[in-house]
Amino acid sequence: MEMKNNMVDLTTSYLGLTLKNPLVASASPLSKQMATVRELEKAGVSAIVMYSLFEEQIIQDGLKLHRDLERGAESYAEALHYLPDYGTYSIGPDSYLEHLSRVKRSVNIPVIGSLNGVSTGGWVEYARKIQDAGVDALELNLYDLATDVATPSTELENRHTQLVRDVRKVIKIPLAVKLSPFYTALPNFAHRLVEAGADGLVLFNRFYQPDFDLDALDVIPNLVLSNSHELRLPLRWIAILYGRLTADFALTSGVHSAEDVIKAVMAGASVAMTASELLKNGVGRIPEILSDLQVWMGEHEYKSIQQMKGSMSQQAVANPEQFERANYMKVLNSY
């Protein structure tokens, strides 16, 4: 018997927050404007992750480093070329906090602050200030690409684990950690982060690779929005980690449709975060995705998100390594 769509319960729980559906607006420029924030809520997202406040912004603001950088610039102009001008940062830390507070007061859905950093230090105190601005949770974005051949993986992971521990000490609200996939033993590192105080893990961050301008012989930033094919990497790891860690999972990168949201939930994610789809096709995609989600669940006789959650994960597999090897061989032989 076909189930009616109005019987489908889209409610989910993430970081201890009860959300009306699993579709969350991830950190992006969309949260910089109050009007757009209100549009996101009206369109139906269950929560909003604010764009990030960077460790470098806080340090630079406190030390007025830009004045020192300008001094003697002629002697190392090429080196400075790779650093953003002070004015190119979106806004200063105090303005960020004020905007965060205004956003929280203007919407009725949870607002998650975002802090982007890779090392411990006095700037971590801004985690408390973000909390005091009234947000419901904090997302700590570990955007750190290892490039030093002398730095072992253990040193990098120890530094990140300590950062999570330090942030956890200064806040009481839920803490999610946004990771890249580039760790030697991701399951162990994820486990260490949860032990350090992470309530949730956001998989994965997208590193933005620069491009070469062959006419100017220069390195240029080049933002490429995600596509649904990128869903496979976070999907795989959430399916492996679900049920093995006492943390919630958020899937980000590659969420463009209801099918992508369904796959994320079935892997074990509590929420699916999207930004590229909204930047590319507008906020109007939100109600379309949610409607398609309800229709699919109704047609396949799923009563709730909770019923679907983790149904395609690997928690029932005794040896995930053997499962991965078998799947690897199966894929190669199927071509």
Segment 112-129, tens digit of pLDDT: 999 999 889 999 999 999
Closest CA to 112 of 207, 28, 20: 28
Q: What are phi and psi of 279, to 5 degrees?
A: -70, -35
- Structure token digits, residue 273: 């975060």
| CB burial of residue 244 (10 Å; 0-12, 13-18, 19+) | middle
- Structure token digits, residue 283: 């906020």
Asked whether residue 86 carries a pLDDT value surpassing 50, the answer given is no
The SS3 of residue 52 is coil
Q: Which residue has the tokens 């806080």?
A: 58
The string of DSSP letters for 315-331 reads TT-S-HHHHHHHHHHHH
Q: What are phi and psi of 89, to 5 degrees?
A: -65, 145
pLDDT of residue 179: 95
Calpha distance 45→41 (Å, rounded): 6
The string of DSSP letters for 118-150 reads SS-SGGGHHHHHHHHTT-SEEEEE-------TT
CA 79, distance to chain mean position in Å, is 30
Strands 218-220 and 53-54: unpaired
User: Over the stretch 252-304, which tens digit does the pLDDT of each residue have?
Assistant: 999 999 999 999 999 999 999 999 999 999 999 999 999 999 999 999 999 99
Question: Under a CB-based contact definition with an 8 Å cutoff, are residues 256 and 276 in contact?
Answer: yes
Beta bridge partners of 17: 14
User: Over the stretch 209-242, which tens digit does the pLDDT of each residue have?
Assistant: 778 888 888 888 767 787 888 999 999 999 999 9
Terminus-to-terminus CA distance in the chain, angstroms? 38
Question: pLDDT higher for 82 or 264?
Answer: 264
CATH code of 76's domain: 3.20.20.70
Q: Structural domain of residue 164, as residue ranges? A: 5-334
pLDDT > 70 in the chain, percent = 83
Mean pLDDT of the chain: 87
pLDDT of residue 318: 59
Asked whether residue 66 carries a pLDDT value surpassing 70, the answer given is no
| Residues 306, 311, 312, 314, CA torsion sign | positive
- Total tally of structural domains belonging to the chain: 1
pLDDT of residue 291: 98
